Chain A
Amino acid sequence: MANGMETAYNFKEVMSRTERLAPGHRMCAGCGGTVAVRAVLRALRPEDKAVVGNATGCLEVSSFMYPYTAYEDSYIHNAFENAGATLSGVETAYRVLKKKGKIKENFKFITFGGDGGTYDIGFQSLSGAMERGHDMVYVCYDNGAYMNTGTQRSSATPQFADTTTTPAGTASEGKVQVRKDLTAIMAQHHIPYAAQTTFTANFRDLHEKAQKAIYTPGAAFLNVMSPCPRGWGYDPSELMNICKLAVETCYWPLYEVVDGKWILNYEPKNKLPIEEFLRPQKRFGHLFKPGREELIGLFQAEVDKRWEELQNRCAAKQ
């Protein structure tokens, strides 16, 4: 167990904590992003203060539209590609001011970025902040495309997804490339804690990972799959079902890397075929037209390959 873990998950207690993301933000109805933010911030001990960072993206332009901030805690948005660097400045300031006796209270540092701001344009800044070991958590709310600007592909976009810059058409099957495995890349920074999670019925997986990420000294990275009903093309009310399918098909495995040790947190008893995850989403609609079975096969093969790779990492003698 990472440092700072003490009590077993008490769902009722956690749900009773004071809300740290206020309503009135302008995210779309059914947005997965704010579900992720709420869940991460709930993992803060109620007595701790926090500074929340944010890369430019849906979350930023919706949760701090002047003069309305949705945060109970201090909040800083700087730009798109520098959430890691910005919060590393805040965290460093905290250490100095604490050392100089100007601050007494405990602050934790959590920054949120979408996959565009994390996997792509903010990748360098994230990598630098993690490598330097700032005592902070970088949370990627991964919805697999540039949703704020209207669903352009990112390196987190899965293969074959129909996005506005990889449209499926008569001469295109959507995105050509497979998605970047950022969680693994961050784990390879040899930071004390990296994890991948999404929303499960009682939010235990996400809660415990957020808690470890926040309270493990040093740099931590959390990748939270946060579905986007508009970009993925499913009915907003289906959020939890989509997440369940992502986990049960092993498209989005739940795992963590604690001090270099890879741990699989959930293994489906009956791994579902990837079609189950793809079918409810319009962005994969073209894969279900006659004659495209091969593409689904390719998608399945990629999922299987990564799943096996992950199982090996988790089983390997460590």
Chain B
Amino acid sequence: MAIRERLSGNEAVAYAIRQINPDVMPAFPITPSTEIPQYVANYIANGKIDTEFIPVESEHSAMSAAIGASAAGARAVTATSSCGMALMWEELYVAASDRLPVVLALVNRALSGPININADHSDSMGARDSGWIQIYAESNQEAYDNFLQAYPIAEHASVRLPVMICQDGFITSHGVENIQLLEDDKVREFVGEYMPAHYLLHEKEPMAVGPYAVSAYYMETKRAQREAMKNARQVILETAARFESLTGRKYGFFEEYRMEDADYVIVLIGSAAGTCKAAIDEIRSATGQKVGLLKIRVFRPFPEEELANALRDKKAIAVLDRSEMFAATGGPLGAEVRAALYSAGSRAEVVNYFYGLGGRDITVDDFKEVYAKLERLARTHERTDMYTYIGLRER
């Protein structure tokens, strides 16, 4: 029987960490993810888990220690946000290249500057090339569910890659919602024991990790890493299927909301999906206009083919990015969705808007306006408004 609770996103992830009981958690406080290590430290202080907490002096050291612990044969976890992730940047690449299944609870927050503590995807989007699997949540429930699936994906023999489980700062991390939790024993059975084949503390064979690899090896190393990311696709789906049989909750690379007959589609990541769904329901009941949403759950590996298949025959698509990439055109999600559609020979009109930077609210009315623009674009093919900021004040 599922446990019914009311938890914030941070509480939900901390609860999952307690249930998994990982070996080592190095972490450094940063808003809005600070609560996660706080809750874990509390569990430890009260004998609820035997995880060792390392109160490191920076996020760079948090990821460095997580890498050391993981290489040593332990299950390692950390949590961070924004600049904390930026400080670990170098280490994100090392964790992935070393093929260490570290799990990072990321609470998405805008990167400085100016300093800002609110939801924005610039932290994780900047790390999209680091070799980490990236899974995003719309809600507390999804953050919890995704977190429980993280280690089975990361540690799978054909994958062995680090995973970041992302949720939106404050909106998800601090918003308290109803949630269904699994019993501890079910979680432990689902996640399983960590049994790496090779690790530093192996008593029978030493292991050396982190070499200098000259150009004769670097490219082959990257190709092998790419293979693991390709393998992750299957493992993510299998893990989701196993999770569904346990909980009844279904997950894939993305969620399609009222997409079957939709002509006008919004593609986005994260908590804004809830508001978008409300807009869709209102539009459909008020005007009957066929609007839908495709919410990305897995951004790395990028589900190019599946995404193109879901979108190729739509009339107009708005890809919404919650982070700038200063191409002076679109954002990272926009670029990748367009590329996927182009490869699939789609003739759909595509615009790429920015929203919610630094925690700016996006409303039901904002989404209605986006759908109205898509309808107009599909009708007129006047490409005047390809890249724009939603909710921006302008003279």
Contact = CB atoms under 8 A, between A and B. Distances in A.
Nearest to B65: A89
B369 interface: no
Contacts of A131: 57
B24 interface: yes
B203 A49 contact: yes
Most chain A beta-carbon neighbours within 10 Å: one of B62, B70, B207: B207
Contact of A92 (B69, B91, B207): B69
B211 A90 contact: no
A61 interface: yes
A92 B211 CA distance: 22
Contacts of B65: 85-86, 88-89, 92
B94 to A, nearest CB: 6
B52 to A, nearest CB: 5
Given A97-B201, A107-B201, A64 B72 contact: no
Interface in B29-88: 50-52, 54-58, 60-62, 64-74, 76
Interface stretch (B212-220, B287-295, B355-363): B212-220
B114 interface: no
Given A89-B76, A93-B23, A125-B60, A105 B203 contact: yes
A65 interface: yes
A237 interface: no
Nearest to B217: A66
Contacts of A81: 60
Nearest to B25: A92
B58 A78 contact: no
Given A64-B208, A73-B206, A78-B210, A89 B58 contact: no
Interface in B87-107: 90-91, 94
B44 to A, nearest CB: 11
Interface size class of A (residues with CB under 8 A): 35 or more
Contact of B74 (A53, A82, A93): A93
Contacts of B201: 51, 74, 90, 93-94, 97, 103, 107
A124 B28 CA distance: 14
Contact of A93 (B58, B69, B202): B69
Contacts of B176: none
A184 to B, nearest CB: 20
B251 to A, nearest CB: 30
Contacts of B55: 132
A255 to B, nearest CB: 27
Contact of B207 (A74, A79, A86, A87): A74
Nearest to B202: A74
Contacts of B26: 85, 88-89, 92
Contacts of B70: 89, 93
B211 A69 contact: yes
Sorting the interface of chain B by its residue count into under 10, 10 to 19, 20 to 34 or 35 or more gives 35 or more
A51 B72 contact: yes
B200 interface: yes
A121 to B, nearest CB: 11
Interface in A150-164: none
A77 B211 contact: yes
Interface string B185-229: 000000000000000111100111111111001000000000000
Most buried by B among A71, A77, A85, A95: A85
A200 to B, nearest CB: 30
Contact of A128 (B61, B206, B212): B61
Contacts of A94: 72, 201
B69 A99 contact: no
Contact of B210 (A77, A124, A125, A128): A77
Interface of A: 49, 51, 53, 60-61, 64-67, 69, 71-79, 81-82, 84-97, 99-100, 102-105, 107, 124-125, 127-128, 131-132
Given A76-B209, A86-B67, A128-B58, 4 more contacts: A60-B212, A64-B210, A96-B74, A103-B203
| For the complex of A and B, 4 pairs with smallest distance between CB atoms | A89-B68, A89-B65, A128-B57, A85-B61
Interface of B: 23-24, 26, 50-52, 54-58, 60-62, 64-74, 76, 90-91, 94, 200-203, 206-214, 217
22 contacts: A53-B68, A65-B214, A71-B208, A78-B64, A78-B67, A78-B94, A79-B91, A82-B91, A85-B26, A85-B56, A86-B64, A89-B65, A89-B76, A90-B72, A92-B68, A94-B201, A96-B50, A97-B201, A102-B73, A105-B203, A128-B56, A128-B58
